[in-house]
Amino acid sequence: MKDLMEYKGYYGSAHYDDDDRIFIGRVEYIRSLVSYEADSAKRLRKAFEEAVDDYLELCESRGGEPEKPFKGSFNVRIGPELHRKAALKAMRKGVSINNLVTEALKTAIS
């Protein structure tokens, strides 16, 4: 993906602000706001890596666990009718709704 960078399991966005003529970004897929900026694309990459390192150091110094971008769970709002159909299908197959959805996602994204 051309508008995301990856470092130590974290993903950073890259955008250009023409008004200020700078590149800006933030660490995506976590609730904490970790942002960075630079005056060139090459420097933005370095700023992203420094922001991730700073975030990890801050969490460690506070004795807390850093957020992970992908924990393996997420909430999906599907509406009552689709929920009912999924629950019944899962029951007929003898699996949980989680397993049904996991298999459907694997099929959809492979």
Domain boundaries defined on the chain: 4-62, 80-109
E-strand ranges in 8-70 read: 10-13, 15-17, 22-28, 35-38
User: 6-45, pLDDT tens digit by residue?
Assistant: 999 999 999 999 999 999 999 999 999 999 999 998 999 9
**pLDDT over 60 at 1, yes or no:** no
- 74 in helix, strand or coil? coil
Mean pLDDT of the chain: 95
